[in-house]
Copies of this chain bind each other. A is one copy, B any other.
């Protein structure tokens, strides 16, 4: 059992509707030391591959993506959720359906910060249906960049998004994969 799995069992809370709250260490209060331990595991998995850029999506993915970018010594780009007047010029855009919020939103990345020379590691804190990741993968494809791999802190394996993306041939590494969450709050990890 790795550090993230241990921490989920210690501090994660299961709510009805297969909701896992990890607000205490991953996406509201953030344990930066844990992020560094995760980044080491991600580095170990991808260290022999070429990575020039980390790409994530605001907001809760930014912290883990920042520490992973630091570990690999490469810049981080985060896709923004809507067009603000502070982003001018050409952007790549893609639509994402939010499982958490029940909405559809646009994500954008400036063409300036993603191009065909990039070997991209996608990073996010959570993977459930895979909608956010599919949106990020489309941005990478539109930019004609290479997708080196995908690193996720916590994958809800039972929701199928991760396996769908693996079947597409992507090198997807999730530090913790949850295969089952029972109604009485038991969490079972994938071996």
Contact = CB atoms under 8 A, between A and B. Distances in A.
Interface stretch (A22-30, A130-138, A146-154, A177-185): A22-30
A35 interface: yes
A32 interface: yes
Interface string A26-64: 011111110110000000000000000000001110110
A76 interface: yes
A77 B31 CA distance: 9
Contacts of A31: 75
Contact of A70 (B67, B84, B109): B67
A78 interface: yes
Interface residues of A, number: 42
A167 interface: no
Contacts of A186: none
Contacts of A33: 73
A33 B77 CA distance: 14
A113 B30 CA distance: 10
Given A59-B78, A67-B70, A84-B101, 12 more contacts: A23-B112, A24-B112, A28-B80, A29-B75, A30-B66, A30-B77, A36-B70, A58-B60, A59-B59, A59-B62, A59-B81, A85-B100
